[in-house]
Each structure stands twice: as C-alpha cells, then as structure tokens.
Structure 1
Amino acid sequence: MTGWRKASIAGVGASRQGKLPGETAISLATEAFTAALADAGLEKSDVDGLLTMPGSSSPEGAKHYLALGEHLGIDPVLTGTLNMGGATAGALIQQAAMAVATGMASVVACVFGDAARTRGSKFDAAQGGEVSWGSWGMFGNAANSAMGAARHMALYGTTSEQLGWVAVNGRRNAARNPHAVMREPITIEDHQASRFIVEPLHLLDCCLITDGGVAVIVTSPERARDLRKPPVDILGMGQGHTLQTFEQKDWWYLPHQEHCVARAYRMAGVGPQDIDVAQLYDNFTIAVLLWLEHAGFCKPGESGPFVEGGTRIAIDGELPVNTAGGNLSESYMQGWLHVVEGVRQLRGEGGERQVRGAETTLVTGRGMTLNTASALVLGKGR
C-alpha cells in the first residue's frame, strides 16, 4: 500500500475530559498541546506551525490563534484559525499536511480546546442564522439529524433499536477506555427507555457535552521516524461540502460525505475493503449509519441491519467502529479524539480495546449544520 505519505502524525495529546470547573478553553488546549509534545518527544521550540479551532466557549473567534499562540509562547511561521464544526480536526490536519509537504512549515500543531460543559452548552438552543429556525420549531443540533433519521426509517425501514446498537457499541468500547467520560454499560432496553430529545432520537442517541482539549502534531515522515513514537502516515485526505441545504431534496442524506470519503480513498489508493478500523463521527447515532453507507461498508439503506446486534462493529468484529467510545461515550471533542484513537490503534496502544493487526484507519468528521465533511485515511508509518 503506497498512498500519499508526504506528511505524518508524530504526536497526539488530550487533556482531562469531563466537567472541569475552573478550566478554560485556552487552559485545556494548552494541556493537550503539552501532552502532544511529550508524546512526540518534541520541544515547544520545534513547533513552527500552529493551526487552531476555537471551542464553543472561546470568545476570540477568528483571532483564536492569536490568543492561544500568545499563551503558549510561540511565534510560528504558519498559523490560523478555522471552524468547520466536527469536520475541523480533519480539515486542519489536511492543512498541516499540505504545509509540511510544501515546505511552508516543518512541525505543525493542530489544537482544540473547549469548556462547553462548564459553560452550560445545551442541545436545546435554536439553530439558524439571522432568522432562527427556532421560529419553525427547529431547536437544537439534534433536530437536523432527527430529520435524516426519520427519512432513513421511512425509506429503508431502519429502526430505533438499530440506532441503539451504535450507542451500545460505543459504550461497550468506552468501558475499556480508562479516559472515557461514560463507562457504565448500557443495553438496548436502556436506550429505548431514555427520553426523546427530538423524535426519533433518544437521549442515548446524542453525544456528550464535555470540557477538554486535544492536539495533533504533523511533520514529515522522515522527521517523524526519528521521534519518540512510531509515525502514522497520512495516506489520503478528502473534504465534501453542501453549502445549500433545504434547496436540495436529498440534503438529509448528506451526499457530500460520500464524495469526501471517495476523495480520501482515491488519494490513498484504497477502498473500504482495505480499512481495518473506522473512527466515524458520531454526534448522533444516525451519523454512523450514514457514514457506513457513504464509506462503502454497506449499500444505501443497509446500515441498520449492518449494525444490528453490534457484532459486526465490535472491536473483534468485521469492522471495528469508534473503538474508544466516540462522541457518544468517550467525550465530545468535536471529532478530535477520533483522530487520536485512530493514531493509537495504528501504534498498537489501544490496550483492552486494541484491534489486532490494525494497519489502516478511516477517520471522518462532519459539522456546521451538517453542511461540511472531512476524511482522513491513516496508515502505519514506514
């Protein structure tokens, strides 16, 4: 397997996760940045690129890189801030990879931090722009995914219980992850008994809201081979966007996600049959079903039966999915921890949740009212 391999992930780090009173988005991002440096065996002075995502509790917005860079005490040659919601981690790592490949920077840190739980973020805020969709009863991010879930059910016979198996699998994996926020096992009965947030989505169909930070360090494959941990090469990258929403009748199915993954596959020279582990963005359980179809692991409409029973997506199953627990049970870091887990699986650092013989992983992200998506195909470094 060849793939792109012009940049590698050399270090990953995460702060503590959960409810962390007294911490800020900046302090948690700093904690993660420090952990990623230690993971790679690098010094702060080695970092000449800084790409950041502001958390929902970050007041700086587009100037986030200025605030974080000042706090970290670095003056990079390449920097900036981007917010594409849950697609941002993948998109920033892609920018970092291109910067390394073109010589614009040599060691780029991609960093995120948020204190969303402490600051009181909720799912019941109205969505929309200048005119809120809340006037039409459209409250919370769950409402967008609920529409897609309802349509998938109507067209293909997908059931709430099948969605529940995604949640049960995530929690089962989180129970093997000492850093996960939610580790208490759940059953399908627990899922069905949990209250509705937006029908047909129950509480256990919805991701966590947490405080925390994550950092990923990208450098050249040559330099990565000389650092502390085994390098993880970037084999392929892709993005997809649907900037028009309700103007397109199939918007609920998010076809841009299929195009996003196809671009990453094409760049990597792989197909779904070559993926050993999948870290699929799971802000809601329906997201995993759609990704399974978009990534070619099953045909359109067949993802419900694919996940039913949880055996095919289990750690020892046909396609291990979200091996650390995902957004649903590990922590909601807007997809950043999906990258971290993908790297750890390829390094063989999964512990009780390690997938045997894992050599490739697909990491996906989506965000901004489901308008945008990113995908990475990662492989063991050479």
Structure 2
Amino acid sequence: MTIRNKAYIAGAFEHPTRLAPDKSTPQLHAECAAGALADAGLSLADVDGYFCAGDAPGFGGMSMADYLGLRSLRHIDSTETGGSSYILHVSHAAQAIAAGKCSVALITLAGRPRSEPFTRGRPGAPEEAFEGWVGQSTHNSYGMCAARHMHEFGTTSDQLAWIKVAASTHAQHNPHAMLRDVVTVDDVLASPMISDPLHRLDCCVVSDGGGALLVVAPEVAKALKRPLVAVRGAGEHIKGPMGGMNLDLTTSAAAVSGPAAFAEAGCGPGDIKYASIYDSFTITVLIQLEDLGFCAKGEGGRFVADGNLISGVGQLPFNTDGGGLCNNHPMNRGGITKVIEAVRQLRGEAHPAVQVPNCDLAVATGIGGALGARHGAATLVLERQ
C-alpha cells in the first residue's frame, strides 16, 4: 500500500526554548502539542492518533496521551529509533491514515538534556556489557566513521567544516538558535578536538525543547486554511554491525531508506529543492548526502565544500534553521525539527534570508542510534501542492 498523497502535514511547531529548568518534560510536550494544533486550526478533541518515542516519560505514549487529555484516540504508536524516530512517525502516521486507523495524528517530542543531563551508557543495549565500562560514546563512533571516510576517499577536515559553516550561515537568521555566530572553516579546525578527527564545532548542540506535527487525512487537510504539504514518499531501514560481520563505516541505513522514499515519491535527488539532513555531527550529514544519491559515494567532501549547502549560494540548501549543529537538538532525537523546517520551506514560511525560491519538493532524513554501530534511518519526501 502506497502512502503517496494519502496524508498531509497540517500543523508544525518548534518550541522556542533551548533551556527549560522551570518546565517538566510533559509540560514541554503539551506546549508543543498546543502550538501545532493552533498552527493547523484544530483542537485536542480532533486528535484520534498519537505518536511519540522514548522521550515521553512514564509509560511513553500511554502516559502522555493521558496527560494531554486525548479522549478520542483510535491509534497509538511509540516506535523508538533514536533521532530518526519522528521522521519515521510521520511515515507511520500516514500509513495509519491510509489504512483508516485515524484521521488526525498528533506527533510530539520534548526533552530537557541541558537541564537533566544524560547518564553514560544505554541500559539494556546488547553491546553495553562489553563497551559501556570502557567509556564507549557516540562521539567515538562518529569519529571512527569520519576517520574511515578520510582513509578510503581522501575526505578532509576542511571539507567537513564546510557543513558547519553552512549551518551557522543559516542560524544567524534564527532568533532561537543556540549558536548564531557565523563561523569559518578555520574556526572549526581551531576548536578543540573531541574525537579525532572531529572537532567540537563538528558536533551538534545539546538543548532543551521540542516540537510537534499534525499529520491528517486529505479531506481534513483540504478543509483547513493552511498550505497543503503532502507526504509523497517514505522509507525506513535498520543497520547494525551484526556481531562484527557488517562493519561498513562509510555507509548508513539511509542508503536503503532514501531510495525507497524516492521510489515511492516517483522522483529523484535531482528534483529536490531543499534538504533537511540529520546533523548530529558533520560526518553524519556527509554520509547521508552520499547515501541519498545527491553525490556518489566518496564524493561527499567535494560536494559540501565551498558553500554548496548554503541557501542562495549552493546547489542544495540544507538545514536552513541552523539544524542540530547550531539551532537545537533536544533529547538526542532532533529529527522532528528536520520535518518542521522542511514544512516551513514548502509553505514559504522560512526566514526570507534563507527561503528557497519556488520550493515545492523537499526531503527530510534522519539517523538514530550511532553511525558505525546499530542505527535506524528514516526518509521522507514532502511536496507542496
């Protein structure tokens, strides 16, 4: 069953806070929900589907549905794939709507990692007993992938730095971004080394905050006074080391989720006007760009260099809100903001300095887990109609 044009994103909201010591996580969820509902012109009474992930406290979606007062639910989904969860939830919401399980699906994310820092490790993960005690971290995994990409393809730290330069060039126009100063390649290379070859400015910010989306049936979308943003295609995939038998560090699960999304959408990378690319680290962006087909494997370094990702300058404007590298990254699950900014671009509601002209087709993609280890990818193709 295809979901092409079977569902529309009618509401989108990004919480403006980046530090919330005086708010609870459920409160942030509720404020995000209220913002998306107001954007769409709907109410909680209209919601009959609810989607969230591991950032929801207590019993996850069940607890949050009760807290939000969702009394008309017919469908609920708490699928957890880390940073890609909320991109995947849009796809799952569209599938549920196409199957007649619900007609107005609310998706919320919220987190307070700045106010309540994470503890080390991933309790319950199979590898935790072997890796956690020696200090394995996300930074180590991504640094390893960057080093391997450099070894195999000649990618340089200068090229990776251009991804941060593009993100910061966009973030200067976002009043809510954590990092609004435009940086240069030299600034990135001069920042402290975190996990060789990744510098501090190659890493994303950590913020409190959240966001919400409303995915609705076509008849609901067409009755609302909002621009029509259709879910045109979607794909998802899981990739892991398989006990050491699958240690390809330069290819992500987006190599499967991306082509699947484009195939369902009936278009290709060359048709995309704007790209929201999950950017936990600069190397995350580069590898996804290759895997999605925007350039050949090994060509990512040359593709991102010299401002090719900067709106109004380069071939493929990306993350025009500043992304996770500069804007926000709540609860290690920043994928929802990738969809939110794609919706802004398609509606023509991005900041004028970064709005892509005639933006009618966008991609949003995310990586959850750890690149180079177990991770999941989700990709959406969205269209303004």
TM-score range with shorter-chain normalisation?
over 0.9
Other-structure match for 1:13: 13
Shift of 1:157: 0.9
Shift of 1:243: 3.6
Aligned residues: 372
Report % sequence identity.
36
Amino acid at match of 1:357: N
- Is 1:3–1:269's contact at 8 Å kept on the other side of the alignment? no
Shift of 1:135: 4.1
Match of 1:225 among 222, 228, 236: 222
Other-structure match for 1:344: 344
Map Cα deviations across residues 10-47 of structure 1 (whole Å, 9 max, x no partner). Answer: 10112223111111221111111000000000011111
CA distance in 2, matches of 1:49, 1:192: 46
Match of 2:286 among 262, 268, 289: 289
Map Cα deviations across residues 61-107 of structure 1 (whole Å, 9 max, x no partner). Answer: xx211221122111211113222101101111111101111111010
CA distance in 1, matches of 2:236, 2:88: 7
Shift of 1:288: 0.8
Unaligned runs of 5+ in 2: none
Query: CA 1:3/1:126 → structure 2, altered by over 3 Å: closer, same or farther?
Result: closer
* Range that drifts further, 215-224 or 237-246: 237-246
Query: CA 1:6/1:213 → structure 2, altered by over 3 Å: closer, same or farther?
Result: same
CA distance in 2, matches of 1:126, 1:198: 17
Amino acid at match of 1:70: D
CA distance in 2, matches of 1:52, 1:369: 20
Other-structure match for 2:368: 367
Other-structure match for 1:42: 42
1:314 equivalent in alignment to 2:287:
no
What do you get for the CA RMSD once the two structures are aligned?
A: 1.7
Shift of 1:254: 3.1
1:151 equivalent in alignment to 2:148:
yes
1:241 equivalent in alignment to 2:242:
no
Other-structure match for 2:31: 31
Query: CA 1:356/1:132 → structure 2, altered by over 3 Å: closer, same or farther?
Result: same
Amino acid at match of 2:344: R
- Is 2:57–2:64's contact at 8 Å kept on the other side of the alignment? no
Shift of 1:126: 4.3
1:177-326 to 2 correspondences below 5 Å: 177-245=174-242, 247-310=244-307, 312-316=308-312, 317-326=314-323
Other-structure match for 2:326: 329
* Range that drifts further, 43-52 or 16-25: 16-25
CA distance in 1, matches of 2:21, 2:275: 33
Shift of 1:221: 2.1
Query: CA 1:249/1:81 → structure 2, altered by over 3 Å: closer, same or farther?
Result: closer
Shift of 1:228: 3.0
- Is 2:52–2:77's contact at 8 Å kept on the other side of the alignment? yes
Shift of 1:196: 1.3
**Alignment partner of 1:12: what SS?**
strand
Map Cα deviations across residues 210-245 of structure 1 (whole Å, 9 max, x no partner). Answer: 111211100112221221320200000000111444
* Range that drifts further, 129-138 or 167-176: 129-138
Other-structure match for 2:90: 93
- Is 2:25–2:57's contact at 8 Å kept on the other side of the alignment? no
Amino acid at match of 1:218: V
- Is 2:82–2:368's contact at 8 Å kept on the other side of the alignment? yes
Amino acid at match of 1:366: I
1:378 equivalent in alignment to 2:382:
yes
- Is 1:314–1:320's contact at 8 Å kept on the other side of the alignment? yes
**Alignment partner of 1:309: what SS?**
helix
Amino acid at match of 1:46: D
**Alignment partner of 2:223: what SS?**
coil
CA distance in 1, matches of 2:324, 2:252: 22
Shift of 1:155: 0.8
Amino acid at match of 1:69: A
**Alignment partner of 2:158: what SS?**
helix
CA distance in 2, matches of 1:273, 1:27: 41
**Alignment partner of 1:361: what SS?**
strand
CA distance in 1, matches of 2:165, 2:118: 24
Amino acid at match of 1:274: D
CA distance in 2, matches of 1:243, 1:147: 15
Shift of 1:306: 1.0
Shift of 1:134: 3.7
**Alignment partner of 1:189: what SS?**
helix
Match of 2:109 among 93, 107, 112: 112
CA distance in 2, matches of 1:148, 1:251: 9
Q: Scaled by the length of structure 2, what TM-score is found?
A: 0.93
CA distance in 1, matches of 2:268, 2:9: 22
Query: CA 1:28/1:170 → structure 2, altered by over 3 Å: closer, same or farther?
Result: same
Q: Scaled by the length of structure 1, what TM-score is found?
A: 0.93
**Alignment partner of 1:108: what SS?**
strand
Match of 2:159 among 140, 162, 169: 162
Map Cα deviations across residues 271-322 of structure 1 (whole Å, 9 max, x no partner). Answer: 1111110101110000111011111111111110111122x11101211011
CA distance in 1, matches of 2:153, 2:17: 37
Amino acid at match of 1:358: C
Other-structure match for 2:129: 131
Query: CA 1:337/1:77 → structure 2, altered by over 3 Å: closer, same or farther?
Result: same
**Alignment partner of 2:101: what SS?**
coil
